[in-house]
Amino acid sequence: MAHNQHELLVQELEREILDYLARNPVAAEHRDAIFQFWIMRERFARGLSALDDALASLVRRGELERVDLPDGEAIYRAARR
């Protein structure tokens, strides 16, 4: 990883840690737990939100088709043209 990319990642991690602590001011963990629970869990949650937006956009543009299932879930597939 180039030096500039590393520095950007360090700054991003600093922000994420401080954001987490702002929401959870009494949190305290060791390094691996910080990575797993503070960083990765937050990124996963943000990723799911972005995925929902991407799926909705692709459906709106007609590139994906959403199929609602009886159990309330939905599946996505290539749009049938």
Using pLDDT thresholds of 50, 70 and 90, give the confidence band for residue 13.
very high
Q: What is the pLDDT of residue 42?
A: 86
| Of the candidates 31, 68, 53, 67, the residue with the CA atom closest to the CA atom of residue 77 | 67
Q: What is the pLDDT of residue 1?
A: 58
Segment (H or E) for 74: strand 74-78
Residues constituting the chain: 81
Give me the mean pLDDT over the 40-53 stretch.
90
E strands, the chain, are: 64-68, 74-78
pTM greater than 0.75: no
